[in-house]
Chain A
Amino acid sequence: MARFVGARLVQLAFIVAAVSVVVFGFLRLLPGDPIAMMLGERPHPQVVAEIRKLYRLDQPFHVQYALWLAQVARGNLGISYITRRPVAALIGEALGPTVGLALAALAIGVVVGVTAGILAALYRNTARDVAASVLAFAGISIPSFFLAVLLIWVFSLALRWLPPTGYVSPTVSIAGWARHMALPAVALGLILAASTMRLVRSGVLEVLGREYVRTARAKGLAERVVVGRHVLRNAMIPAVTAVGLQLADLLGGAVIIESVFAIPGLGRLTLDSIFARDYPVLQSAILMLTGVFILANLLADVTYALIDPRIRYD
């Protein structure tokens, strides 16, 4: 197991390095000059040329890459073109809100999805199952931003229970953080819950039909024990896969949800940097997202081994 994880981490380093070259190249192939765009209405060619020179954007591609790499190797991610603040500080400030949102959404998604999936399977073809399935289908079909606007409309404007937008750091106020995070986490989490529920439901149904379940019941084990010990453990494998795969959607969804709810996270930072062609920020943000994504998949793989005794990585 340790060897497997170690190998995967080495792999991760290589992937991130490769991605860095690709990202660096593609960004500079994008049309649009960050400096001219920054100057907005009055991109005086002379001023543009001077600032490009200041930021070394007039150097050839490989020189720029080498400069950047040397900087990163020294632990310096550079300075944003448009805000002139250190990239490390910008990413550091944006990381907290995104991680908080993703974890809250993941928790909602897994708890709601797994519970609903199990219940729907155990009460197959009853009104409860149909209701859960219809809701799940709706959850898969509704775009997250629409659900987000719907939630704001109901809980902020009509009922006035929760703030419509904004963010309070948990270090400032846990209650404030929770109040601001409730709606975005639900908007993002419910969509995750919907697909998790369907996978868990079919997983449980499949396991229920297996011989060892019949055997367990024949042994006279209580239904609670049968479901808890035999059914759930085996049915969880597809669910874990699903959640692992959905981390990508979760990050993508977070970008949209962060925009609607004005959450100052990594998604917002990335989006803003794309539109401004703020290369230094964008490079680091994309590498960051790549790393998070690969780590999440690794985590899913390790979880399998813990759940399913048949899976061994050595």
Chain B
Amino acid sequence: MRVGRLVGLALVLAAAVVLLPAGGRAQTRGGALVVGFQRDVLNIDPHMWTANATRKVMVNVYEGLTGRDAKLNVTPQLAESWTISPDGKRYTFKLRKGVKFHNGREMVGEDVKYSYERILNPKTGSQVRPDFEVIDQIGVPDKATVVIVLKRPYARFLGMLDGDWAAIVPREEVEKYGDLNAHPVGTGPFRFASRAANQHVTLERNPDYYEPGKPYLDKVVFKIIPDEFALMADLKAGSTDLVFTAPTQMLDELKKTPGVSYLEAPSSIVTFMYLNTQREPFSKLAARQALAAAIDKATIVRAAYQAIGQPVASLVPSTSPVKVTVADAPHGLDRARALLREAGYPNGYTFTLNVLGSAATSKAIAETMQAQLKQAGITMNIVYTEPGIYEEQVVRKHDFQAATDGTSEHPDPDVKLYIRLHSKGGTNLAGYANPQVDALLDQGRQQMDPAQRAATYSKALAQIVTDVPVVAFAELKFYVFVRDRVQGFEIDPLTMFFFKNTRVR
């Protein structure tokens, strides 16, 4: 077994040497990368997981039919190609050949069918099950082909088949252990090696990976250090190679650390607040518009995020593959006062903002906004709300006037807007219902042409900006600090970590 692996490795190395262009430098292989994490992974079954940190680790172990590039274009992964019928309802996937699960078995069409049926089974408890209900039938004409028929065309369908939420898993492993939480088996570049609660999760190279020569690393160790400052101390001391959380106020100082590089890229994260349209004062359109006119977004965003955030007009950030155009609500105190009179509040109004958590950035947003609103005669009380209480009071009971929130999901307008602003949306906390916007959001999901979708969503967003059910603050950059020995690491806009192409010196 071990000898076989050595022989295989020797062959690969020999091939690499032979295939290198003259004068080319051999790729460094081997070594371990240590990543600093604040939170332990939770449920690591790919159809049950929910936590962002868990996915950051496990997207290296599991893959879906499709993948994505750094611009969020859909790319082939376990499916090497696909065709879509003219009515947009029938997808025929050709599977990549020679893909093996980590248990050594070849991946075939039946595994795709099994995996999607598992997601669709309510007993699994998959978070994306509502999205998958667009699937009508799954057929496997031969072991390398999968045909999926949808109930209606769905623009996001290919994008939702990635390894983040729709991993292809082997049935026999699920049936042996009940789920994949204790014994993860996927097709990814790394295999799951071990974990110890609140200590580490360790992945090791998958020697059977189908991309020749990859991955480069022998091991990736995710080390769990809950304290932000301790995490940074670890990076400085050289015992951690990569860290992705740092106190915003320390960024500039940290960027000067010798031997450490700072990388950043636009992400899918947008911070915003809901205005409850079912409650005074925000049940009045002019009262919501007055608030939008009274705030100076650029100042708020600078105070909270410095160079990490950009003001944004809507929930759809610039990383969206669908390029929408939308103008923000006009800002001006005179306009705000006029709108207040129109709403019947000539002396302004008072409301309470529930801030989710109490992070320094949330505090900065709330306090800067509070001072700005004061100038227009609007009094805002701030209540910092622990996530559990927020979940009950704001999310479940809709018992609030205004509440901050954030979203890091895929930046496609359908993902960002439908659940929050469609009258049937699962988390429409603003209680917003505009038939015209509903119709546009329904239409945008079914259009296949990107230009048409962009036009549809731009129209919807113009209406949403006028109606102010939400006030978007900022789109954020995702950043990491890496030690200089790390090479080939690229930031993913969805904030996942892919280490397939990463090397250490």
Contact = CB atoms under 8 A, between A and B. Distances in A.
Most B C-beta atoms less than 10 A away, residue of A38, A50, A157: A38
Nearest to B227: A260
Nearest to B43: A84
Interface string B121-146: 01101110110000000000000000
B246 interface: no
B419 A262 contact: no
Contacts of B226: 259, 262, 268
Contacts of B419: 42, 44
A39 B227 contact: no
Interface stretch (A118-126, A159-167, A292-300): A159-167
Nearest to A92: B197
A192 B169 CA distance: 52
A41 B408 contact: yes
B466 interface: no
A207 interface: no
A262 B229 CA distance: 11
Given A152-B233, A157-B236, A167 B199 contact: yes
Given A164-B233, A259-B227, A262-B227, A84 B391 contact: no
Given A54-B125, A157-B237, A166 B387 contact: no
Given A30-B388, A163-B239, A264 B197 contact: yes
Given A36-B391, A43-B427, A85-B182, A260 B127 contact: no
B407 A41 contact: yes
B387 A82 contact: no
B426 A165 contact: no
A83 B427 CA distance: 24
Interface in B342-400: 386-393, 395-396
B233 A40 contact: no
A94 interface: yes
Interface in A23-42: 30-33, 36-42
29 contacts: A31-B389, A31-B393, A32-B389, A36-B396, A37-B387, A37-B391, A39-B50, A41-B406, A42-B426, A43-B391, A43-B427, A44-B129, A44-B130, A45-B426, A46-B426, A50-B122, A93-B196, A149-B229, A152-B233, A153-B233, A157-B237, A163-B237, A166-B199, A167-B199, A260-B227, A262-B224, A262-B225, A264-B196, A269-B197
Given A32-B388, A90-B197, A44 B237 contact: no
A94 B224 CA distance: 14
Interface string B440-473: 0000000000000000000000000000000000
Interface string B275-303: 00000000000000000000000000000
Contacts of A46: 130, 426
A189 B224 CA distance: 24
Contacts of A50: 122, 125
B233 to A, nearest CB: 4
Interface string B27-51: 0000000000001111101001011
A294 to B, nearest CB: 26
Nearest to A44: B426
Interface in A245-278: 259-262, 264, 268-269, 272, 275, 277
Contacts of A36: 391, 395-396
Contact of A268 (B48, B129, B198): B198
B261 interface: no
Interface string B65-105: 00000000000000000000000000000000000000000
A275 B224 CA distance: 17
A51 interface: yes
A64 interface: no
B483 interface: no
B477 interface: no
Given A45-B426, A47-B125, A269-B198, 13 more contacts: A36-B396, A43-B395, A44-B127, A44-B419, A46-B426, A47-B129, A83-B43, A84-B48, A157-B237, A166-B234, A166-B239, A264-B224, A269-B197
B92 to A, nearest CB: 29
How many A residues are at the interface, by size bracket? Answer: 35 or more
A40 B225 contact: no
Nearest to B130: A44
Contact of A38 (B50, B197, B392): B50
Contact of B388 (A41, A83, A264, A277): A277
Contacts of B45: 84
Contacts of B229: 149
B455 to A, nearest CB: 27
A46 B131 CA distance: 12
B433 to A, nearest CB: 16
B243 to A, nearest CB: 12
A156 interface: yes
A313 to B, nearest CB: 40
Contact of B223 (A82, A89, A166, A277): A166
Contacts of B198: 94, 262, 264, 268-269, 272
A275 B388 contact: yes
Contacts of B407: 41
A54 B395 contact: no
Interface in B390-442: 390-393, 395-396, 406-409, 419, 426-427
Contacts of A166: 199, 223, 225, 234, 239
Interface string A6-37: 00000000000000000000000011110011
Contacts of B40: 83, 272
A36 B230 CA distance: 30
A160 B48 CA distance: 42
Interface string A94-111: 100000000000000000
B218 interface: no
A164 B125 contact: no
B52 interface: yes
Given A47-B125, A149-B229, A83 B237 contact: no
Interface string B167-200: 0000000000001011000000000000011110
